[in-house]
Amino acid sequence: MAQRGKKYRAALAQVDRNQAYDLLEACKLVKNTSYSKMDASVDLAINLGVDPRHADQNIRGATVLPHGLGKKVRIVVFAKGEKAVEANNHQVEFVGGDDLAKKISEGWLDFDQVIATPDMMGVVGRLGKVLGPRGLMPNPKLGTVTFEVEKAITELRAGRAEYRVDKAGIVHLSVGRANFGAEQLAENARTIIDTLLRVKPSTAKGTYLKKVSLSATMGPGVRVDTAPFKL
């Protein structure tokens, strides 16, 4: 294994790898041990006691974080008529139907989120091979297939975090930036954890909230004490 750099080793020396820290203390440590010159993302990893092979345990959804994600969200909307006017009033990147689909199919991908009204999903469906692998396909479970266009745009801009369990039963997502206050990061992380506890499948057996850790883009992982969050 290649030897870690000096900055990483210096950051790692500040973290007790055998200790599970209080959430707020963990957030302070992540901020202090982030050594990126840029404004790093702070990421949360949660190991859940679920088997994603079972449909009812394949957890996926979204929740609005109290302090947002600290970045501008570029949104495109598939809509027509009044809903297209509604989207344009919120100054999104692009609003359209077949014209937007053509633009995307030709390689334009300068956006972070896609919203579609249900009556436009026939058009959006043709872009499955482009949007799907990038995690951009609108989904009713995430609130991005909806006639409530204004609400969807507002929530995405406010900092809505999408969560999805992977094949190993782990949820990975950002909870903010390293320039956030530790209290802000802790509140965002707590919102995610509380949300995952609320959507616990009734068929999940054994320990549900197994492990939780926080890390900056460039920095060591910090274990979080799960005891305060146990069901």
pLDDT reading at 184 higher than 50: yes
Structural domains of the chain, ranges and CATH numbers in brackets: 18-59+165-229 (3.30.190.20), 75-159 (3.40.50.790)
d(CA 51, CA 205): 9
pLDDT at position 4: 66
Contact of 160 with 66, CB cutoff 8 Å: no
Q: What is the mean pLDDT of residues 165-186?
A: 94
Per-residue pLDDT tens for 215-229?
A: 998 888 899 999 998
The 8-class DSSP code of residue 71 comes to: S
Q: At CA 37, angle to CA 224 and CA 213, rounded to 5?
A: 10
Length of the chain equals 231
Give the predicted TM-score (pTM) of the model.
0.79
Average pLDDT over the chain reads 90
Mind listing the pLDDT tens digit for each residue in 4-43? 677 777 777 787 788 999 999 999 999 988 887 777 899 9
Beta strands in the chain (DSSP E): 41-48, 60-64, 75-78, 94-96, 113-116, 160-164, 170-177, 209-216, 222-224
